[in-house]
Amino acid sequence: MTEPAVLAIDQGTTSSRAIVFDLVGTVISLAQQEFPQQFPRDGWVEHDPEHIWQTVVVTSRKAVADAWSAGFDVVAIGIANQRETTVIWDRKSGRPIYNAIVWQDRRGAASCQALVDAGDAPYIREKTGLVVDSFFSGTKLQWLLKKVDGAAAAAQRGDLAFGTIDSFLLWRLTGGAIHVTDATNACRTMLFDIGAQDWDTALCERFGVPPAMLPEVRDSAGSFDATDPDLFGRPIPVAGIVGDQQAAVVGQGCLTAGMAKSTYGTGCFVLINTGTRKPEPQEGILATVAYRLSGETTYALEGSIFNAGVAVNWLRDGLGVIGDAAETEALAASLPGNAGVYMVPAFTGLGAPYWDSEARGGISGLTRDTTKAHLARAALEACGYQTADLLGVLGGISRLRVDGGMVANDWLLKFVADIANVSVERPRVIETTALGAALLAGVGMGLYASLEDAVEQVWHSDRTFDPSMAEADRMALLSEWRAAVDRIRSTTG
């Protein structure tokens, strides 16, 4: 006899992971594979969609096979994905017409400025909850239609399909049977009215996007068809789709208004559940969809930081000063303080609350005494400072649930607690992005009575980090950090 289990496809910015969970949230099997990052020009970031697809197939097959060997039968699939990353593919061949343009990509900055100059920003803000920024899919899609030969005409004929990574994967998984996304991904395009929960005709016209190329928008849990039998030897229902940050909201059990989570991965994203009423976006903060179930939308406020863990990766891969990301914890802890060294990791601009696409990274306070330990500490501290900046705008948060690859680092979490003056709670299962996708798929398949029931079964606290830094010290560090931010902004924009 086999036990039922759910496969979560966690398609991220630097790797694809496949994780099989049992119904109480235990990881049964896991497979991961990185894929290349492409940087054609300053501020441009691309992925080959075929690389993404191949890594998803390889990891998913392995995870499913390993789960079967352990006595578990995968009965449903949930997809969590890097959100704003944009793909256009041919409906007949299924082949992408160009590389995927990644959420970090800044090539749409000039188009965004044109929208602002034309007075379109207030309408976009009102309808979508977003600021006008090339972070989102709209200007990426616009660029593809303008720059790829024949794309605009083919799109008008209905020959092309647009999607974020979830839509592309679902198309491939089902053998081209379905062109669908969910509300959490649709709301990241700058084309979706989060109040009406539908594509906005005026915005589609403004961006030159034919509605025929847009996917159908569905709830985050339910039936999304089944996989091609050739992939896993039999069809498996896809029953959950959710953007990665919203997946972490679910996986962290932030189902009540006022609960907040922060994910520390390539970037850092703070989301606060605001309930079923569409929130008014605050200065520098986004209003977005947390999840949609049975036609009812739960909303969130979001602060988006473009560069967090990527700074540690840069120290490892770009400078070669560390051999492994895990080294940063001991290096940071080896110092009594930061010695005035600050890293502002604006490799692809600054996100919330600054939204400065022209800013570029900088390190200040370097002396002959600066070591790799100072650089490692500065990279970790930057995560804390940026979190403090966001929480300072959002206000009223006393407890923050955290997840992502970086949260195994105790030094980082204590610093976040201290500098942001907030209790930081880490769950036992830190794979909360994948877990959220699995839970939604479980709800979609009827394996749980409700999302609340699912979270009650799987979410458990591992450790809480409480703040203890003196207020004067905290404010002094934040003041120096903000001075460092001002310096890199004043020299670039």
Residue 345: how many other CB atoms lie within 10 Å = 26
pLDDT in tens, 105-125: 989 999 999 999 999 999 999
Q: What is the pLDDT of residue 237?
A: 97
Q: Residue 62: name the closest of 9, 25, 22 by CA.
A: 9
Per-residue pLDDT for 357 more than 90? no
Give the model's pLDDT for residue 493: 45
Tens of pLDDT, residue by residue over 300-314, are 999 888 888 889 999
pLDDT digits (tens, 9 = 90+) for 138-177: 999 999 999 999 999 999 999 999 999 999 999 999 999 9
Other C-beta atoms closer than 10 Å to the C-beta of 173 total 27
Q: What is the mean pLDDT of the chain?
A: 94
Give the helix/strand (H/E) hosting 367.
none
Q: How far apart are CA 147 and CA 140, in angstroms?
A: 10
Mean pLDDT value across residues 57-71: 97
Give the Cα separation of 383 and 302 in Å (integer). Answer: 16
pLDDT digits (tens, 9 = 90+) for 400-457: 999 988 999 999 999 999 999 999 999 998 889 999 999 999 999 999 999 999 999 9
Q: Is the pLDDT of residue 86 over 60?
A: yes
CA distance 240 to 223: 8
Q: Which two tokens stand for residue 493?
A: 């924009």
Can you give the pLDDT at residue 490? 64
* Dihedral sign (CA 324, 329, 330, 336): positive
Expressed in angstroms, the distance from the first to the final Cα of the chain is 63
Does residue 135 have a pLDDT over 90? no
**SS3 call for 135:** coil
> Is the pLDDT at 340 greater than 70, yes or no?
yes
CA distance 44 to 60: 29
Poorest-confidence range of 98-112, 125-139, 183-197, 350-364? Answer: 350-364
Judge whether 277 and 415 are in contact, CB under 8 Å: no
Q: What's the predicted TM-score (pTM) here?
A: 0.87
pLDDT at 43: 86
